[in-house]
Amino acid sequence: MRTIALVNQKGGCGKTTTAVNLASCIADSGKRVLLLDCDPQSHASIGLGIDTDELERSTYDVLMDPVVQIRDVVHTVTDRLDVAPSSVILSAVEQQLSGQPDRENRLRRKIAAASDDYDYVFIDCPPSVGLLTFNALVACDEAFVVLEPSYFSLHGALKIVETIGLVRDQLGMRKRTKVVLTMFDRRTRFAKEFLREAQTRFGREMFDTVIRHTVRFREAANWGVSISHYAKSCGGARDYKDLSREVIADEERLAAGEFEPVVEVQDVGLEPGMDEWILSQPGPHFVEGGVLFSLVAPEANDVELVGTFNDWKREDGVRLTRSDNGVWHTTVDIGPGRHLYKFVIDGIWVPDPANENRAAPNEDCIVEVYRRD
């Protein structure tokens, strides 16, 4: 049995749509599949036509009640596809299990007890890294990180990859990570550039199949069916069919213990997405830990920050760090007040081109820090 968690702490990036459609395609190919809804929003359950207001039992009971097994809560959707539905009460698990020993292992035990019943278990996770996602990460042997073309989504993906690494190291368990890009609109330059960036970062861990953006997914979800049962021949249905083939094709290698290396996060100095954020909102920013100063200077070899906060002394100055795409940055913890500053780029003093708040044109830049209560 393969247990696969669909994860990304960023909301709305296609986790549930991927869980529903991949589960459905793999069931259609003849495998016995369980889709376990681990999100209190219950979108996977609703997306497969289950009325979550009428549930007697749900994944909440599986997690909370030692005697309730997965088979006690499942609904059969098609011949080979079962759903363990969730309900909104699942959101109470975090609080109710707080301080309980072994609380991250609950799902793992229950899934292990169902291992004779299924070939595949997909776990649809909520958009957060709380106890529910943790239970899923501990229970799974593979995590499919779902990515839509946005930097917040990439940021979420990199964070969850780090968390998977922690779970793996702490528990000494093997966890295979794969990344799937969804909502891909090949007509936009941004999407194509994003795909290239994702391929650079994740390399072989990315699935070859990319899921296109199409309104058909929303329509199918409204009808409570998978896309292959709603519009079998549409492009989106074909994409998930292709993805399911890729997933099934891995079976043999996995059975032989050939796990691919876990994704290593590339250190680009800044959080992913921050560069773009800096470019879109020039000037100093107030961030956790102080004031973030930044400068776009791909050609520079050395950038320092001097100002009233270090008595304009370069020897006491602050060196900025360069990230891959030529954005220099540093965060300085300066107290409340009105501060003047300049950058020193390769020895030349220049005002911050992104800060128009200046003592005089071409003069020192001003940053005002207010005490935050």
Ligand X SMILES: Nc1ncnc2c1ncn2[C@@H]1O[C@H](COP(=O)(O)OP(=O)(O)OP(=O)(O)O)[C@@H](O)[C@H]1O
Q: Do residues 102 and 53 lie in contact, with contact meaning Cβ atoms separated by under 8 Å?
A: no
Query: In which residue are the tokens 């499942």 written?
Result: 74
Computed over its alpha carbons, how large is the radius of gyration of the chain? 25
With binding defined as CB under 5 A, does residue 110 bind Mg ion? no
**How many other C-beta atoms can be found within 10 angstroms of the C-beta atom of residue 135?**
26
With binding defined as CB under 6 A, does residue 16 bind ligand X? yes
CA distance 73 to 138: 21
Of 36-44, 81-89, 266-274, 275-283: span binding Mg ion (CB under 5 A): 36-44
Size of the site for Mg ion (CB under 5 A): 3
With binding defined as CB under 5 A, does residue 43 bind Mg ion? yes
Name which position in 6, 7, 8, 15 contacts Mg ion (CB under 5 A): 15
CA angle 354, 357, 363 (to 5 degrees): 85
With binding defined as CB under 5 A, does residue 16 bind Mg ion? yes
Q: Which helix (H) or strand (E) holds 258?
A: none
- Comparing CB distances to Mg ion, the nearer of 43 and 106 is 43
Four-residue CA torsion sign, 169, 160, 327, 185: positive
With binding defined as CB under 6 A, does residue 203 bind ligand X? no
Burial class from Cβ neighbours inside 10 Å (0-12, 13-18, 19+) for residue 152 reads: middle
When CB distances are held under 5 to 8 angstroms depending on the partner's kind, the choice from ligand X, Mg ion, none that residue 211 binds is ligand X
Min CB(274)–ligand X separation in Å = 22
Min CB(293)–ligand X separation in Å = 34
With binding defined as CB under 6 A, does residue 15 bind ligand X? yes
Name which position in 38, 158, 211, 292 contacts ligand X (CB under 6 A): 211
Name which position in 45, 182, 310, 323 contacts ligand X (CB under 6 A): 182
Query: In which residue are the tokens 């295979």 written?
Result: 176
Q: Tokens for 103? A: 């609380």
Min CB(15)–ligand X separation in Å = 4
With binding defined as CB under 6 A, does residue 13 bind ligand X? yes
- Comparing CB distances to ligand X, the nearer of 126 and 284 is 126
CA distance 115 to 69: 12
Min CB(238)–ligand X separation in Å = 12
Q: Which helix (H) or strand (E) holds 339?
A: strand 337-345
- Comparing CB distances to Mg ion, the nearer of 46 and 320 is 46
Name which position in 4, 23, 28, 43 contacts ligand X (CB under 6 A): 43
CA distance 289 to 332: 7
Burial class from Cβ neighbours inside 10 Å (0-12, 13-18, 19+) for residue 118 reads: buried
Residue ranges in contact with Mg ion by CB under 5 A: 15-16, 43
Residue ranges in contact with ligand X by CB under 6 A: 11-17, 39, 41, 43, 127, 182-183, 211, 213-214, 217-218, 221, 236
